[in-house]
Structure 1
Amino acid sequence: MSNYIDLPMSGLEGPLTEMEQAVQDMCHRFAVEEIRPIAVKVDEMSAQEAVAADSPVWNMLKKSKELGLSISAMMELEPNERSRLMLIACEELAWGDVGLAGMILVNQMPALYSALAGRMDMVEYCDGKLGCWGITEPDHGSDMLDPVNANVADNGKYGRANCIARIEGDKVIINGQKSAWVSGSMTAEVCALYCHVEQNGEIKPGVTVIVPLNAQGVTRGKPLDKVGFRGLNQGELYFDNVELPIEHMIIGPEDYAHQVYETLAEANVHVGNMAVGIARAAYEHALEYAHERIAGGQVIIKHQTVKYRLFHMFRKIECARAMVRRAGEYNATAPSAALQGSIAAKVTATQTAFEVASDALQIFGGNGVTKEYPMEKLLRDARASMIADGCNEFLALKGGSLLINPDLVN
């Protein structure tokens, strides 16, 4: 008698609701039919070719709107229901390809961050438009995630910002640049721009502005050529006296630090969730291959070392998914999001993705390092996830600073 259980896509998680199951099935089908067929092609294109007019990415983005995962639609749901649906959906999309899944997710960010700011008018303005999130700068990478200077080195200074806004009457005027790591910048129509602000001659964090990228004074650099997440275009944005109505500023200086906190709490959970998709894809490829590949006179899954390796891959994925979903549920239902929980989920899941992808490649042996098989690409994607939305080392420091009880220290 066999004790084998064919687990569902969500592994050991409890039963999904009827809506959750429908969304999972829809997104899995989209990953199979739309994402995976073009993922390898896009991965092999140059960065410029991947965003050219004839790139298959454009058609994929157009079809992704049929998934019905707009922020306006999601905001009609209860917070925890909304959080679970988005995590279930995006894990399936990332299982198809994390770069292209990232494209679908980042398009929602201007609307999502407008919703976090309580600006439903700007949610309506952004919904249906391709979007991006601009925060990192050439001289300030993960530093931009620390507007309260909690992680600044002893006797250190972050230095002058590269992108600065100033408020003049009923207008906001933006000058400077954002770095080449602005996700979706080459295809976006609107940007959720997080930048410093100049007030009374002082430059400080900051404001959040919804910037239409066809506004006068906005230009784009060239797309970034990188190791992983190649389906997710990234590139510089430049602002030369870009003048917008003050209504496009969704967060002012007094609330900026809180907005960055809430934004990172949201974004880190999603990056961790997509890393679970990478890990699951690598594990499933390795599990299937281990049932087919013969070495030592038998299929390799019967070898003790392969069974041992596959079990620990399975264990790590289940732990990472549980942590991501747990952090998402807490943040959706608690009075205030716990950023340390989001960071823990992101760091755990991305580290898991890298370890699982590496082990999966080892099971493939020599075949794993060839482009005939998906393993080397999954390893590249997993490695890139450990830097996305804040490198894991910086995030760990930031998470640690959130554990300090101010009532117990000077």
Structure 2
Amino acid sequence: MNDVPLFAPTDEHEAVRAACRDLCRAKVAPHAADVDRSASFPQAAYDALRAADFHAPHIPETFGGVGADALATAIVIEEVARACASSSLIPAVNKLGTMPLLLAGSEELNKRYLTPVAAGEAMFSYCLSEPDAGSDAAAMRTRAVRDGDGWRLNGVKRWITNAGVSDYYTVFASTEPDRGARGISAFVVEKTDAGVSFGAPEKKLGIKGSPTCEVYLDDVRLPGSRLVGVEGEGFKLALRTLDHTRVTIAAQAVGIAQGALDYAVGYVKDRRQFGQSIADFQGVQFMLADMATKLEAARQLTYAAAARSERSDPDLTFFGAAAKCFASDMAMEVTTDAVQLLGGYGYVQDYPVERMMRDAKITQIYEGTNQIQRVVLARQVLK
């Protein structure tokens, strides 16, 4: 790995954290249980995040955004996830959907689509996975065929976060099937384009407030200006995007784990057994010590990856995968331990840690399973 200057969150980063934490405590956390129970989009959280410019903080000032750097954006996602994992997918998926444009989009394309996202008038999703192309994304069957000076798209995308709610979608499609990964291109598709439709929302274990649906593309006609970057470079663009946005999933995992640890600490201080607080028992203290240590290790790795994302360092691929993999495994462990610390109370919906445990699981799966992350990491190590 490269020698990279040390980093630390600045006073400005900490001010962002404090402001976002206060907002989430007041306007996001109170709705988290209802959002999960009803599997409904967290509209109140979205409205609050938009009003405070936390819905898409990464959008540059050029396009009307606040221009938050990668670390500040990670901190926002962490703080929202601490209160409600479903709501944290608003800033996280807005970054995922728009990152291909920021990396390779033309000035005209970016101005047209990033400006309304920055203004809170639209959301952006990312369409890579398909029914038969998950980890093996290069095997996608969605096709884009030239049609005059434009393109015609046909195919199905699966596991699309915030599908149906988002107005815009970055869609990856094969433009030259014979070339495999080298024949994939990226396009912007609008929700209102003729031929675009959505499947029923998936019934999921966690993050229930963030809709996950199939996206159907039935003879969708796009002008040539909707191509993102260079034809045939879409797969490389998809991987470059994930290098950056795996950091956001790591941040989400850190936030979920922090929320669970916070609640567990409060509970063990108040809960009394055998005539004393259970926080006085060494076995409980050892669990808390391990939880806090692993959580802070994941946070520091996530922040280190965010710093590399901001600079687009050559070792970002390693750090993005490492942060996502380590933080999501940590989140699953910490939330499970939080349930254990609450005992029977941890297992019922009257208390939030069972929700956090369910929400944590997806962080080990999406944006590349942790098995795929380990493949990525090993390849980087063996280079």
TM-score, scaled to structure 2: 0.89
The Cα of 1:98 is off from its aligned counterpart by 1.1
Quote the residue 1:237 is aligned against. Answer: 215
1:139 aligns with 2:132: yes
Residue in structure 2 matching 1:355, options 328, 333, 338: 333
In structure 2, relative to structure 1, the CA distance for the partners of 1:134 and 1:353 (3 Å cut) is: same
Deviation of 1:67 after TM superposition, in Å, equals 2.4
* Rounded Cα–Cα distance in structure 2 between residues aligned with 1:188 and 1:360: 33
The corresponding residue for 2:47 is 62
1:72 Cα offset (Å) = 3.4
Amino acid paired to 1:163: T
* Uncovered stretches (5+) of structure 2, i.e. residues with no partner: 1-5
1:176 to 145, 148, 155: 155
Deviation at 1:141, TM superposition (A): 1.0
Within the alignment, does 1:92 sit opposite 2:79 as a pair? yes
1:19 match:
12
CA distance in 2, matches of 1:303, 1:241: 64
* Aligned equivalents of 2:325, 2:113: Cα separation in 1: 30
Write out aligned runs for 1:27-106 (5 A).
Answer: 27-46=20-39, 50-51=40-41, 57-69=42-54, 70=56, 71-73=58-60, 82-106=69-93
Query: Larger % of helix: which?
Result: 2
Tell whether 2:354 aligns with 1:376. yes
Distance 1:75 1:359 in 2: 45
Is the CA contact 1:262–1:337 (under 8 Å) kept in the aligned structure 2? no
Query: CA 1:14–1:136 in structure 2 vs 1: closer, same or farther (change >3 Å)?
Result: closer
Task: Answer yes or no: is 1:395 the counterpart of 2:367.
Answer: no
Aligned residue identity for 1:124: K
Structure 1, unpaired ranges of 5+:
1-12, 52-56, 148-157, 406-410
Q: Secondary structure at the match of 1:86?
A: helix
What letter is aligned with 1:322? Q
User: After the TM superposition, which of the residue ranges 314-323 and 113-122 deviates more from structure 2?
Assistant: 113-122
TM-score by length of 1: 0.84
Give SS of 1:227's match: coil
Q: What CA distance in whole angstroms lies between the structure 2 residues aligned with 1:134 and 1:323?
A: 28
Residue 202 of structure 1: how far off its partner (Å): 6.0
- Measure, in 2, the Cα distance between the counterparts of 1:216 and 1:114: 22
Report the 3-state secondary structure (helix = DSSP H, G, I; strand = E; otherwise coil) of the residue aligned with 1:277.
Answer: helix
Q: Is the 8 A contact 2:173 2:185 kept in 1?
A: yes
Partner secondary structure for residue 309 of structure 1: helix
1:182-212 CA-partner distances (Å, limit 9, x unpaired): 001020110011222236x766541111111
Number of matched pairs? 367
Question: Which residue pairs with 2:197 in the alignment?
Answer: 219
Q: CA 1:96–1:207 in 2, change beyond 3 Å: closer, same or farther?
A: same
Structure 1 CA distance for aligned equivalents of residues 271 and 318 of structure 2: 42
Q: 1:63 deviation in Å?
A: 2.9
| Cα distance change of structure 1 residues 81 and 242 upon mapping to structure 2, 3 Å threshold | closer
Q: Deviations over 1:125-172 (max 9, x none)?
A: 22321121111000111211xx4xxxxxxxxxx4xx331112334202
Q: How far, CA to CA, are the matches of 1:165 and 1:28 in structure 2?
A: 43
User: Does the 8 Å contact 1:197/1:203 carry over to 2?
Assistant: no
Is the alpha carbon distance of 1:236 and 1:62 closer, same or farther for their aligned partners in structure 2, counting shifts above 3 Å?
Answer: same
Matched, 1:299 2:286: no
Partner of 2:287: 309
What SS does the corresponding residue of 1:105 show, helix, strand or coil?
helix
Q: Distance in 1 between matches of 2:318 and 2:94?
A: 25
Report if the CA contact (8 A) 1:75-1:82 is conserved. no
Instruction: Answer whether contact 1:331 1:337 (CA < 8 A) is retained.
Output: no
* Deviation of the 1:14 alpha carbon: 8.5
Superposed CA offset, 1:45-94 (max 9, x none) = 14xxx15xxxxx234323322222444346799xx970111111111011
Q: Does the C-alpha gap of structure 1 residues 61 and 124 become closer, same or farther in structure 2, counting only changes over 3 Å?
A: farther
| Aligned equivalent of 2:106 | 119
Q: Partners of 2:14 and 2:330 in 1: how far apart?
A: 25
Paired letter, 2:133: H
* Mapped pair 1:252 → 2:230: yes
Q: In the TM superposition, what are the counterparts of 1:187-202 in structure 2 within 5 Å?
A: 187-198=165-176
**AA paired with 1:198?**
E
Deviation at 1:279, TM superposition (A): 0.6
Runs of 4+ residues over 4 Å off in structure 1: 13-16, 74-77, 201-204
